[in-house]
């Protein structure tokens, strides 16, 4: 009899698992509650011809050659080094804050002194965390740290997360370093590429396999049931004999039994503009002014040549309410939410065929390369497991 698997959710986590299991001989039923695949990576082309990311800008970057090689099977890529600038004290300066930002915002003598002190304080290092500057013993470095903290992080983070920066998990802030040099790329990974025809096409190619049965508009909560006493999972009322890879929200899977896990989300406001170009950079951050956090001009990400038209996106962070039209984007990691997550994880471990993967199922702020790596790892463990031989 052929081996069978169920995958729930067709963002990166679910699509990579579906493809890997299909190639290993599993018949995969792939359930997606939205009308489209690709999860939050989904794109559409506006009437003006500009391709946009429906759920906010996504840029691929990784140090993991294996992850890139895997994705390359489903799309050609073009090199794209992401650069961000932010409005700070009336000027557009690189973010992450770097030596060019210092030169733009301080008088030449002071800028030279600060750069010299930083280079000596962090010999051989290309970046540091903002906390290392704020806590530094040298008063000039500390004062620079406080300046960057205030101008780059405090207000942006309050907008983004709805709480003071002190209440946000340090790992979130540390995603954006301070760069000890003039490298003005947003990421320092060795591989920085984008799929030529967009992410959606990459997903469609990945899911195009005779052993994958993609079912969009299919709410897994109406199809799957957890049978607690036996540890079985039922699909359409019958025990399912195979791996069930779940990438949706873990609290939903357990009917919020231990409470709702908090997420932050974003109201996304697109504007089509009849102009060749809107701004100087693909992304401009507004750490200190405006209600939105950033403006993305998609043409500059997709490198599309669309004359006399462009589309921008303003992101307005907002609380996520389960059941509302907006999607959960960012897990809010704190002591209480992580404790709640652990309860769900324990409950999930009672189901031997249940595999959790991705931002919503593992309640983790994954980057896309990390989630692909994780999905490949889970796929391997399933393929190699004696349970499914
Ligand atoms: N951040 C900030 N100022 C900025 C950019 C980022 O304070 O100009 C903080 C903010 O708390 C944000 C976090 O750094 O949530 C991570 O930023 P990243 O750009 O990685 O967020 P994403 O693109 O995933 O929304």
∠ CA 164-170-172, nearest 5°, is 85
Distance 157 CA to ligand 1 centre (A): 7
DSSP structural state of residue 232 = E
Q: What is the Cβ-side half-sphere exposure of residue 220, based on CA atoms within 13 angstroms? A: 26
| Percentage of the chain modeled with pLDDT above 70 | 100
Task: Return the best residue to mutate from 176, 263, 283 for the ligand 1 pocket (most ligand atoms within 8 A of CB).
Answer: 176
Residues 43 and 199: beta-carbon distance below 8 Å? yes
Distance 204 CA to ligand 1 centre (A): 30
Q: Is pLDDT of 350 > 70? A: yes
Query: Containing H/E element for 342?
Result: helix 335-348
Residues 370 and 249: beta-carbon distance below 8 Å? no
Inter-helix orientation angle 368-384/12-23, to 10°: 30
The pLDDT of residue 1:
66
Q: Which residue, judged by its Cα, is nearest atom 7 of ligand 1? A: 153
Residue 389: band (very low, low, confident or very high) from pLDDT cuts 50, 70, 90: confident
Residues 122 and 138: beta-carbon distance below 8 Å? no
Residues 219 and 365: beta-carbon distance below 8 Å? no
Residue 193: band (very low, low, confident or very high) from pLDDT cuts 50, 70, 90: very high
Residue 323: band (very low, low, confident or very high) from pLDDT cuts 50, 70, 90: confident
pLDDT digits (tens, 9 = 90+) for 49-73: 999 999 999 999 999 999 999 999 9
Strand partners, 30: 7, 214
Task: Please state, in angstroms and rounded to a whole number, the distance separating the CA atoms of residues 96 and 283.
Answer: 12
Residues 8 and 246: beta-carbon distance below 8 Å? yes
Which tokens is 352 given? 């031997």
Task: Return the best residue to mutate from 172, 282, 329, 364 for the ligand 1 pocket (most ligand atoms within 8 A of CB).
Answer: 172
Distance 34 CA to ligand 1 centre (A): 27
- Nearest Cα to 211, choosing from 1, 43, 5, 47? 5
Tell me how far CA of residue 74 lies from CA of 93, 155, 164, 296, 329, in angstroms: 36, 40, 42, 26, 25
The pLDDT of residue 325:
85
Q: Judging by beta carbons within 10 Å of its beta carbon (0-12, 13-18, 19+), is residue 201 exposed, middle or buried? A: middle
Task: Please state, in angstroms and rounded to a whole number, the distance separating the CA atoms of residues 210 and 91.
Answer: 54
Which tokens is 156 given? 């942006």
Strands 127-128 and 178-179: antiparallel
Ligand 1 pocket, CB under 6 A: 86, 95, 152-153, 156-157, 160, 168, 172-173, 175-176, 285, 287
DSSP structural state of residue 287 = S
| Nearby residues of 170 by Cβ (< 8 Å), 6 or more positions away | 131
Residues 117 and 123: beta-carbon distance below 8 Å? no
The pLDDT of residue 209:
98
Q: DSSP states of 56-81 as a string?
A: S----EES-HHHHHHHHTT--EEE--
Which tokens is 257 given? 């039994």
Q: Which residue, judged by its Cα, is nearest atom 11 of ligand 1? A: 157
Q: Name the 3-class secondary structure at 86.
A: strand
Whether the upstream peptide bond of residue 355 has omega within 30° of 0, thus cis, is no
Choice among 16-30, 111-125, 299-313, 315-329 with the minimum mean pLDDT = 315-329
pLDDT digits (tens, 9 = 90+) for 220-237: 999 999 999 999 999 999
pLDDT digits (tens, 9 = 90+) for 301-317: 999 999 999 999 999 99
pLDDT digits (tens, 9 = 90+) for 224-272: 999 999 999 999 999 999 999 999 999 999 999 999 999 999 999 999 9
Indicate the average pLDDT of the chain: 97
| Nearby residues of 139 by Cβ (< 8 Å), 6 or more positions away | none
Task: Return the best residue to mutate from 86, 130, 173 for the ligand 1 pocket (most ligand atoms within 8 A of CB).
Answer: 173
User: Which atom from ligand 1 is nearest to the alpha carbon of 168?
Assistant: 11
Q: DSSP states of 95-126 as a string?
A: ES--HHHHHHHS-HHHHHHHHHHHHHHSTT-S
Residues 34-45: what's their mean pLDDT?
Answer: 98
The pLDDT of residue 5:
98
Backbone angles phi, psi at 184, to 5 degrees: -105, 20
The structure tokens 């899977």 sit at 253
Backbone angles phi, psi at 38, to 5 degrees: 85, 0
């Amino acid at each position: 009899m052929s081996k069978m698997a169920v995958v729930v959710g067709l963002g990166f986590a679910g699509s990579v698992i579906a493809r890997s299991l299909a190639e290993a001989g599993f018949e995969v039923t792939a359930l997606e509650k939205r009308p489209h695949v690709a999860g939050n990576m989904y794109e559409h082309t506006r009437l003006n011809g500009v391709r946009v990311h429906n759920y906010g800008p996504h840029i691929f970057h990784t140090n993991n050659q294996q992850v890139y090689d895997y994705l390359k099977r489903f799309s050609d890529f073009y090199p794209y080094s992401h650069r961000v600038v932010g409005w700070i004290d009336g000027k557009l300066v690189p973010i992450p804050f770097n030596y060019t930002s210092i030169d733009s915002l301080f008088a030449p003598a002071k800028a030279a002194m600060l750069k010299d002190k930083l280079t000596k304080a962090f010999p051989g290092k290309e970046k540091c965390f903002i906390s290392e500057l704020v806590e530094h013993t040298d008063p000039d470095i500390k004062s620079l740290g406080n300046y960057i903290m205030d101008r780059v992080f405090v207000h942006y983070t309050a907008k983004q997360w709805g709480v003071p920066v002190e209440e946000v998990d340090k790992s979130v802030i540390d995603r954006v370093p301070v760069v000890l040099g003039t490298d003005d790329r947003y990421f320092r990974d060795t591989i920085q590429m984008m799929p030529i025809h967009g992410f959606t096409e990459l997903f469609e190619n990945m899911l195009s396999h005779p052993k994958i049965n993609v079912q969009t508009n299919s709410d897994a909560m109406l199809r799957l049931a957890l049978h607690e006493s036996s540890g079985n999972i039922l699909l359409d009322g019958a025990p399912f004999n195979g791996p069930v890879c779940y990438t949706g929200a873990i609290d939903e899977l357990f009917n919020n039994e231990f409470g709702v896990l908090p997420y932050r989300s974003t109201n996304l406001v697109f504007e089509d503009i009849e102009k060749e170009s809107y701004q100087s950079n693909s992304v401009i951050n507004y750490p200190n002014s405006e209600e939105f956090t950033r403006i993305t001009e998609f043409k500059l990400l997709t490198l599309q040549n669309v004359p006399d038209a462009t589309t921008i996106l303003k992101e307005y962070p907002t609380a996520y309410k389960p059941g509302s039209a907006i999607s959960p984007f960012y897990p809010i990691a704190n002591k209480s939410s992580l404790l709640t997550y652990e309860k769900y994880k324990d409950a999930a471990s009672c189901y031997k065929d249940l595999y959790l993967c991705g931002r919503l199922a593992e309640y983790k702020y994954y980057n896309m390369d990390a989630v692909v790596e994780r999905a490949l790892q889970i796929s391997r463990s399933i393929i190699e497991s004696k349970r499914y031989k």
